């Protein structure tokens, strides 16, 4: 028995943290001392898209506050079950853009891989909440065809690991993918889009740094943070480990009603990112996904917020306000008139 307990078969700290995440709505309400009357609607909404909150993230919420900006991102609400015209299961029409299952090639020079169907946290506003992953997250099965596609498109410089969350895969698996990609001469950059460094900061361990910075590809990480309260000493330390290993760090946020739709919240976020060595990159308008209409901020309000941010922040702390419009060959940048 003892011989089986080698380093490889033991689960890493981050895997144990993921396994301990809260998935029971009653437990979430109890731990945060919230009104049990919320439970029936929460249970019903969680049936469509399960509740999932890692304990590290829960620990940054303020107990007793039903409007806590972190809680709002994960608490299933009755509003999710309403049918709202214009809010659809696949708002960005991803399925139409897959030349090989698991590979999205919509933008010049960049190809995006849906590497994993799993996430460490379930964000209620997620545009992939209805994504039929069983068709898409077929990276393993279709890997030879994906490599062939990438080899035959010399204009692709960058491969993006997305999901789900790519960092739910094991480092052995990710290392194998990175090595295969590094073998394609025209690829230059490997970019990860992940929420794990925020919600399970112990995910940024030496094994990750080793494979991510261990090929000739430039390592880029886009973290997903929507509110300054999501950043603390543990996430700052994770960013520092990435930075010292040579990873370029960017953040993308989603503009969410009741979470970060104020000038104060957005300036605080940019400053907190700066303190963590992370460059603000995108502020997304919500993709109109079914079940998330209550998070929507209209374009006019978003532009007014951006106009104020533009006056109050140095240019290097300003995210670009963008929206994804089906059929376009890039995200559309919305620029406020000043």
Answer yes or no whether residue 324 interacts with ligand SF4 by CB under 6 A: no
User: What does the alpha-carbon distance between residue 222 and residue 75 come to, in Å, rounded to a whole number?
Assistant: 24
One of 53, 61, 112, 249 touching ligand PLP (CB under 6 A): 112
User: What does the alpha-carbon distance between residue 154 and residue 28 come to, in Å, rounded to a whole number?
Assistant: 49
Burial class, 189, CB count within 10 angstroms (exposed 0-12 / middle 13-18 / buried 19+): middle
Q: Cβ of residue 225: shortest distance to ligand SF4, in angstroms?
A: 11
Question: How many residues of this chain bind ligand SF4 (CB under 6 A)?
Answer: 11
Query: And the tokens for 222?
Result: 């886009």
Strand order across the beta sheet in which 332-333 lies:
103-107, 110-114, 158-162, 189-194, 218-224, 248-254, 279-284, 320-323, 332-333
Residue 126 annotated as binding? Answer: yes
- Choose one: 9-17, 83-91, 102-110, 173-181; the region binding ligand PLP (CB under 6 A): 102-110
Answer yes or no whether residue 110 interacts with ligand PLP by CB under 6 A: yes
One of 18, 100, 111, 123 touching ligand SF4 (CB under 6 A): 123
Residue 112 contacts which entry, ligand PLP, ligand SF4, none (Cβ below 5-8 A, type-dependent): ligand PLP
Answer yes or no whether residue 198 interacts with ligand PLP by CB under 6 A: no
Q: Which of residues 138-177 bind ligand SF4 (CB under 6 A)?
A: 163-165
User: What does the alpha-carbon distance between residue 106 and residue 98 come to, in Å, rounded to a whole number?
Assistant: 9
Q: Which residues contact 43 (CB under 8 A, 6 or more apart)?
A: 25, 76
Q: Which of residues 125-144 bind ligand SF4 (CB under 6 A)?
A: 126, 128
Q: Are 260 and 306 in contact (CB under 8 A)?
A: no
Residue 91 DSSP symbol: T
Residue 81 annotated as binding? Answer: no
One of 72, 122, 142, 191 touching ligand SF4 (CB under 6 A): 122
Which chain residues interact with ligand SF4 by CB under 6 A? 119, 121-123, 126, 128, 163-165, 195, 224
Binding-site annotation, residues = 119, 123, 126
Binding-site annotation, residues for [4Fe-4S] cluster = 119, 123, 126
């Amino acid at each position: 028995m003892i011989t089986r307990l080698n380093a490889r078969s033991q689960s890493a700290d981050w895997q144990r943290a993921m396994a301990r995440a809260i998935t029971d709505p009653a437990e979430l309400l109890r731990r945060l001392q919230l009104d049990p009357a919320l439970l029936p609607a929460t249970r019903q909404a969680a049936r469509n898209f399960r509740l999932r909150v890692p304990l590290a993230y829960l620990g940054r919420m303020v107990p007793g506050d039903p409007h806590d900006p972190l809680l709002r991102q994960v608490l299933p609400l009755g509003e999710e079950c309403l049918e709202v015209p214009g809010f659809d299961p696949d708002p960005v029409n991803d399925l139409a853009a897959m030349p090989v299952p698991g590979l999205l090639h919509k933008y010049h020079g960049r190809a995006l891989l849906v590497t994993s169907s799993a996430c460490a946290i379930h964000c209620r506003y997620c545009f992939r909440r209805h994504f039929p992953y069983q068709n898409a997250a077929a990276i393993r099965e279709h890997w030879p065809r994906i490599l062939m596609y990438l080899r035959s498109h010399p204009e692709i410089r960058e491969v993006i690991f997305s999901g789900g969350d790519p960092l739910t895969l094991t480092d052995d698996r990710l290392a194998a993918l990175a090595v295969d990609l590094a073998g394609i001469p025209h690829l230059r950059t490997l970019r990860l889009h992940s929420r794990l460094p925020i919600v399970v900061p112990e995910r940024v361990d030496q094994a990750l740094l080793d494979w991510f910075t261990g090929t000739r590809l430039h390592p880029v990480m886009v973290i997903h943070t929507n509110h300054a309260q999501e950043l603390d000493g543990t996430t700052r330390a994770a960013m520092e480990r990435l930075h010292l290993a040579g990873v370029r760090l960017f953040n993308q946020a989603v503009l969410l009603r009741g979470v970060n739709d104020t000038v104060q919240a957005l300036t605080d976020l940019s400053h907190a990112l700066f303190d963590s060595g992370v460059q603000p990159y995108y502020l997304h308008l919500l993709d109109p996904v079914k079940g998330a209409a209550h998070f929507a901020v209209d374009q006019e309000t978003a532009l007014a917020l951006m106009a104020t941010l533009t006056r109050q922040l140095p240019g290097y702390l300003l995210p670009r306000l963008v929206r994804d419009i089906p059929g376009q060959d890039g995200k559309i940048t919305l620029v406020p008139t000043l």
